Amino acid sequence: MAEPSMLPPASGHDKLMIGQSAAGIYLAHAVLILGVVIVAFPIYYTFVASTHTLQTILRPPLPLVPGSEAVANYSEALFGGIGRIGGVGVGTLLFNSTVTALGIALGKIVISILSAYAIVFYRFPLRMTFFWLIFITLMLPVEVRILPTYKVMVDLGLIDTYAGLIVPLIASATATLLFRQFFLTIPGELVEAARVDGAGPWKFFKDILLPLSRTNIAALFVILFIYGWTQYLWPLLVTNRNDMNTIVIALRKMISFADADTEWHLVMVTAILAILPPILVVVLMQRWFVRGLIETEK
Amino acid sequence: MTPRVVFPNKILPYLLVAPQLAITAIFFYWPASQALYQSMLREDPFGLKSSFVWFANFRKVLADPNYLNSLKVTAIFSVSTAAVAMSVALLLAVMADKVVRSRGLYRTLLIWPYAVAPAIAGMLWLFLFNPSIGSLAYLLRAAGIAWDPLLNGTQAMVLVVAAAAWKQISYNFLFFVAGLQAIPKTLIEAAAIDGAGETKRFWTIVFPLLAPTTFFLLVVNTVYAFFDTFGIIHAVTGGGPGKATETLVYKVYNDGFVNLILGDSAAQSVILMVIVIALTAVQFRYVERKVHYG
């Protein structure tokens, strides 16, 4: 499948190290191109399917190139409403997912930066107890406390609300640990100097700590946005109404192999629209993404 | 270095940690303690009365062939997913480490599945491989393979492993690339001068030096396969056919929400909690200290 034109010219710009052969480099490119094809194919093919009519999709194999129905399919999904999920349009679903992902990312950043600030820059009774209480939540993912957490949500009346989708997921040990780690590297002299110049806690936080944390915040934001967007189990539990579903959950509801009613062309459009925003975030903010990934896993 | 005590304020720090502690208490500790408590209760079929039964639920769950099956399924699923995702990623990372040209482009093209939700990853693969409209399923059948993951348990497992591993390749790739870049090139060149071939250099120098990265990824991939793949199983197979792809997390959900067997579901939650704690402990104890270079 390797396109010859995509290989480097025979002279090659790849600098050969000792012990490397030109053939080895060609092989490396070939393997990488094959890897890219495998990685990209499911997404590409779904995109292709999203531009064909339902009839074409129902008769495999599907052509390898996009069809002519792109405009019709996308506008039907976005503005027409989808029958299987109670006539809700993809626009509503995208809105729900955006609110959820942004809420989770920003919420996590805000509450984590505040608690890390308190834990690093103050000395108060129970400080380390609080730190450990936050730290241990790493070991309590939603999956191990599904039913009781669901009951709390019912009792608080948070089913089918944005708060219900967001708030339970914004306590994050990872983000708190990351900010704590970073704050500990800030030299004590800087803090002293700020104090001597008369900066109070708020001014120090706003004018010194926040600007210094910009990179960390950007990196965390990318990771947390994707985390929020790709949630599954939680939105599945706390949303019943079709118009409160996130796009990922709605997509699952749209598919059925048991009956012939599945509007596959709209399913494909929804799938593409569901993966596009997080992919854009990853690709456009790649530098922050890679950094965030490596930092949060330390 | 710890910054000096800077802001002598008695109340402010408590206000600052309050939001996180409140959420942690309401949505983490209270439910987790409830899960512990419920795991030792048994309700009558009508949910009217419950009695304290100590560890009876655990004994029941651990003796249940369905649970043991689910343990086996989870083990097969996790090991296969981690093995596939890590070996493909390692191969691609080693190749990417060799080329200078278009390395950035390859990286960009290889990292996007990270942004795809596991459930959607499952649906994309299901779309390609489902027996009624899947184009690749069509090709498989045209090649004479009786392909039907909706009826054949092994094929269903292959499909969910493929989808789960596909999504995880990006992540592993980035970490392997970082790990490879940290290996001094002079070491490899020295071996080359001494006449070690490419394969030999990889297995005797590169692979052992990558051990910390590999071990770290092994833990992360296991956690991923255990917990984050619920969406894939739920969206693609629903635990079926039969119980061929019913993982532990899926079973907790199914017993609790669909079958409403609360005591059993809670006991399973607690067992899962023990597994997470063990995995986290391993991660912090060994990954921090780095794997010993043999």
Residue A144 CA, chain-centre distance (Å), reads 22
Query: Residue B163: its pLDDT value, please?
Result: 92
pTM: predicted TM-score of the whole model, two decimal places: 0.86
With CB atoms and an 8 Å threshold, state whether A114 touches B262. Answer: no
Q: Is the pLDDT of residue A203 over 70?
A: yes
- Interface membership of B11 toward A (CB under 8 Å): no
Q: What residues of chain B, 126 to 165, have a C-beta less than 8 Å from chain A?
A: 126-128, 130, 132-135, 137-139, 150
What per-residue string of b and e applies to B178-211 under the rule 16 or more CB within 10 Å gives b?
A: ebbeeeeeeebeebbeeebebeebbeebbeebbe
- Interface membership of A233 toward B (CB under 8 Å): yes
HSE toward the beta carbon, residue B97, CA cutoff 13 A: 22
Could you tell me where the DSSP H helices lie in chain A?
Answer: 22-49, 54-58, 70-75, 90-121, 127-136, 146-155, 162-166, 173-184, 188-196, 201-204, 210-212, 214-229, 233-238, 247-254, 264-284, 286-296
- The parent domain of residue B207 ranges over 64-289
Q: What is the mean pLDDT of residues B94-111?
A: 84
Query: What residues of chain B lie within 8 A of the CB of A45, using their CB?
Result: 124, 127-128, 135
C-alpha distance from B60 to closest chain A C-alpha (Å): 19
pLDDT in tens, A40-84: 888 998 898 888 888 787 777 778 888 787 787 888 877 777 777
- Interface membership of A117 toward B (CB under 8 Å): yes
* Percent with pLDDT over 90 in chain B: 13
Domain boundaries along the sequence of chain A: 4-9+19-85, 90-296
Mean pLDDT for chain A overall: 82
Query: Residue B46: its pLDDT value, please?
Result: 63
- Interface membership of B262 toward A (CB under 8 Å): yes
- Interface membership of A123 toward B (CB under 8 Å): yes
Please provide residue B244's backbone torsions phi and psi, each rounded to the nearest 5 degrees. -65, -25
Q: Is the pLDDT of residue B10 over 90?
A: no
Domain count, chain B: 1
- Interface membership of B93 toward A (CB under 8 Å): no
Whole-number Å distance between alpha carbons of A226 and A278:
6
Question: Which residue has better confidence, A79 or A11?
Answer: A79
B48 in a structural domain: no
Q: Are B118 and B171 contacting, i.e. CB atoms less than 8 angstroms apart? A: no
Q: What residues of chain B, 192 to 251, have a C-beta less than 8 Å from chain A?
A: 192-193, 196, 198, 201, 216, 220, 227, 230-231, 234-235, 249
Collapsed DSSP state (helix, strand, coil) of residue A67: coil
Token pair 């939540």 is at which residue?
Answer: A137
Q: What is the mean pLDDT of residues B44-48?
A: 63
Q: Is the pLDDT of residue B215 over 50?
A: yes
Q: Which of A265, A212, A244, A200 is nearest to A53 (CA)?
A: A265
pLDDT in tens, A142-151: 777 888 888 8
Q: Is the pLDDT of residue B289 over 60?
A: no
Counting other chains too, the contacts that A20-28 makes at CB distance below 8 Å and 24 or more residues apart are A20/B98, A20/B192, A20/B198, A24/B98, A24/B198, A25/B98, A25/B99, A27/B95, A28/B95, A28/B96, A28/B98, A28/B99
Whole-number Å distance between alpha carbons of B160 and A102:
29
- Interface membership of A34 toward B (CB under 8 Å): no
Mean pLDDT for chain B overall: 83
- Interface membership of A121 toward B (CB under 8 Å): yes
Query: Residue A19: its pLDDT value, please?
Result: 65
With CB atoms and an 8 Å threshold, state whether A130 touches B21. Answer: yes
Query: Residue A4: its pLDDT value, please?
Result: 38
With CB atoms and an 8 Å threshold, state whether A152 touches B134. Answer: no
Q: What is the mean pLDDT of residues A105-125?
A: 90
Q: What is the mean pLDDT of residues B259-286?
A: 80
Indicate which CATH number applies to the domain containing B265.
Answer: 1.10.3720.10
Whole-number Å distance between alpha carbons of B227 and A77:
32
- Find the residue in B nearest to A185 (Cα): B1
Pairing status of strand B41-43 against strand B50-52: antiparallel
With CB atoms and an 8 Å threshold, state whether B28 touches A274. Answer: no
Facing A140 at nearest CB: one of B28, B114, B115: B28
C-alpha distance from A27 to closest chain B C-alpha (Å): 8
Whole-number Å distance between alpha carbons of A245 and A86:
11
Q: Residue A218, exposed/middle/buried by CB under 10 A (0-12, 13-18, 19+)?
A: middle
Query: Residue A258: its pLDDT value, please?
Result: 64
Q: Which of A3-7, A89-93, B53-57 has the highest mean pLDDT?
A: A89-93
ipTM field:
0.84
Collapsed DSSP state (helix, strand, coil) of residue B288: helix
Confidence of residue A9 (pLDDT cuts 50, 70, 90): very low
Q: Is the pLDDT of residue B203 over 60?
A: yes
With CB atoms and an 8 Å threshold, state whether A188 touches B3. Answer: yes
pLDDT in tens, A275-286: 999 999 888 888
* Percent with pLDDT over 70 in chain B: 93
Tokens read off for A21 = 């052969």
Least confident piece of the model among A37-46, A58-67, A223-232, B148-157: A58-67
Whole-number Å distance between alpha carbons of A19 and A82:
59
Query: Residue B258: its pLDDT value, please?
Result: 80
Q: Which of A6-20, A93-107, A159-173 has the highest mean pLDDT?
A: A93-107
Q: Is the pLDDT of residue A12 over 60?
A: no
Question: Which residue has better confidence, B78 or B261?
Answer: B78
Return the residue in B1, B4, B14, B28 with the most chain A beta carbons within 10 A, the one to mutate for interface testing: B28
DSSP for A164-229 reads HHHGGG---HHHHHHHHHHHHTS-HHHHHHHHHTT--HHHHIIIIIHHHTHHHHHHHHHHHHHHHH
DSSP for B125-153 reads HHHHH-TTT-HHHHHHHHTT----TTT-H
With CB atoms and an 8 Å threshold, state whether B17 touches A25. Answer: no
- Interface membership of A276 toward B (CB under 8 Å): no
Q: What is the CATH number of domain A90-296?
A: 1.10.3720.10
Query: What residues of chain B lie within 8 A of the CB of A192, using their CB?
Result: 4, 6
Q: What angle do CA B251, B257, B260 make, to 5 degrees?
A: 95
Query: Residue B84: its pLDDT value, please?
Result: 95
Widest pairwise Cα distance in chain B: 78
Query: What residues of chain B lie within 8 A of the CB of A130, using their CB?
Result: 17, 21
B103 in a structural domain: yes
Q: Residue B48, exposed/middle/buried by CB under 10 A (0-12, 13-18, 19+)?
A: exposed
Q: What is the mean pLDDT of residues A91-116?
A: 92
With CB atoms and an 8 Å threshold, state whether A143 touches B231. Answer: no
Using left for φ > 0, alpha for ψ between -120 and 50, and beta otherwise, residue A91 falls in: alpha
Strand partners, A82: A88
* Number of other residues whose CB lies within 10 A of the CB of residue A41: 16
Query: Residue B48: its pLDDT value, please?
Result: 67
